[in-house]
Structure 1
Amino acid sequence: MIKLYYHPSPNPAKVALFLEEAGLPYEMVPVDTRKGDQFRPEFLAINPNAKTPALTDGDVTVFDSNAILLYLAEKTGQFLPQDTPKAHGEMLSWLMFVATGIGPYCGQAVHFSRFAPEKIPYAINRYAREAERHWGIIDERLATRRYMLGDGYTLVDMSVWGWATRLSFAVGENWATLFPNVKRHTDEISARPAAQRAMALKDQFAFKTEVDDDARRFLFPQNTHLRA
């Protein structure tokens, strides 16, 4: 049985979407990162990076959301592009673009604008502009095709969707005006029954929502020494 170690945030959401789309049976294991569950020894044995999501499939362990998507796609043969070198190259490029660009810059934009103990204008502007630049590239890509790799819905679209559903939080309420093609793409995927089921997973457990001092200690342990 597949086990998905889950928290209601963008990266686990994309994996949940794939599992629901593929119709794979799985067990969801909640990891409440604001309570420090990610630092429990049993979770660190699965993901030494102490981040969600992680996935186990028998004796297979995979962490990093994009690695999990690729593993599941290859396991099932679903939501992959055409079997050509060109299509394979595009898939890997865009999947890594989300992993190394969209995710980190959105995450840092949110951190410095909302959670950093000190509001640093340079850092806020730096990450906000880079997040917008990366999403502008996605928007331009979607201006000329229905999905990220063309006419077919793939794991790359799921990877983009996970972060796009949080764009109002990361970029601002005007994100749909800035990125109309991303909005169209996000709305289409969010209307899918599998996406509705994936989004409803967060309601199965009472995850902590407030970011109090304890939560900050677990979410940003490297900054603990900065707090009196």
Structure 2
Amino acid sequence: MKLYYAETLAPRKTCAVAKYLGLPIDYALVDLTKGEQSKPGYLAINPNGKVPCLVDGERIIWEADAIISHFAQRAESDLWPRDDRQIDVLRWFSWNSHHFYPHAGALYFESIIKPMFALGGPDSSKVAEEQGMFRKSARVLNQQLKGRKWLLGDGLSVADFSVAIALPYAKKAAMPLAEFPEIQRWHDQLNTIEAWRNPFPVRSETSGTSAANAALHA
């Protein structure tokens, strides 16, 4: 399996699940600062021009949530439930995409992505607006976590890896996480997992870029 990734939010969840499951992955770094995601070679794999993207034999899978579900199924892991909780996984994937992630991601963009791409500093009015929307969605998540160890109950699932993905950057991105004790407790549990804390493959600055360039132009 070859995973095209960058060290940003959506690829982070795929790298974390792959590492957690101990899967044999050939990692190909896509340098977003150089626009490698828009090169013809990469667009032939993922016409959306986004990361991550997985090539598993003849199968190509876009979208991080689909990729982590594929990883769990391929590994025959309980991260992908084998009962009616599958519907709950899809529900939280959808909820996260439409409610929580857009606002957590916007805060991440203002404080982390903008400096990375020399787009200036955070827009204070945008940050305040997104913090308000973050709080609205976080209240729903905080309530869901009451009385549950993980998002779906007693067992860790791909839903946890998906929904929490922006939280490692909460402090840097001015997310008001401290206002939500159940979310903080849940993320503290995730932080006990090495693959969550350090999901990205170890690489040198030159070898990682060279590998990605070779993959993109093969």
TM-score range, shorter chain: 0.7 to 0.9
Match of 2:105 in 1: 107
Match of 1:154 in 2: 157
**Residues in 2 aligned to 1:206 and 1:97: alpha-carbon distance in whole angstroms:** 36
**Residues in 1 aligned to 2:131 and 2:50: alpha-carbon distance in whole angstroms:** 23
CA 147–166 in structure 1, closer or farther in 2 if over 3 Å, else same: same
Report the number of matched residues: 199
Per-residue Cα deviation, 1:167-188 (whole angstroms, up to 9, x for no partner)? 223334x52x212222222222
**Residues in 1 aligned to 2:182 and 2:190: alpha-carbon distance in whole angstroms:** 13
**Residues in 2 aligned to 1:61 and 1:42: alpha-carbon distance in whole angstroms:** 14
SS at match of 1:170: coil
Match of 2:24 in 1: 25
Among the aligned pairs, what percent are the same residue? 26
**Residues in 1 aligned to 2:170 and 2:48: alpha-carbon distance in whole angstroms:** 25
Match of 1:164 in 2: 167
Match of 1:93 in 2: 91
Measure how far apart 1:74 and its partner are. Answer: 2.8
Match of 1:37 in 2: 36
The unaligned stretches of length 5 or more in structure 1 are 208-228
Is 2:174 the counterpart of 1:188?
no
One-letter amino acid matched to 2:193: R
The unaligned stretches of length 5 or more in structure 2 are 207-218
Measure how far apart 1:43 and its partner are. Answer: 1.4
**Residues in 1 aligned to 2:8 and 2:164: alpha-carbon distance in whole angstroms:** 12
SS at match of 1:95: helix
Match of 2:212 in 1: none
Match of 2:51 in 1: 52
Measure how far apart 1:82 and its partner are. Answer: 4.4
Per-residue Cα deviation, 1:148-171 (whole angstroms, up to 9, x for no partner)? 000001101111232221222333
Tell whether the 8 Å contact from 1:164 to 1:186 is kept in structure 2 after alignment.
Answer: yes
Quote the RMSD (CA, aligned, Å).
2.4
SS at match of 1:68: helix
Measure how far apart 1:147 and its partner are. Answer: 0.3
**Residues in 1 aligned to 2:170 and 2:46: alpha-carbon distance in whole angstroms:** 26
Is 2:145 the counterpart of 1:142?
yes
Measure how far apart 1:92 and its partner are. Answer: 0.8
Measure how far apart 1:12 and its partner are. Answer: 1.0
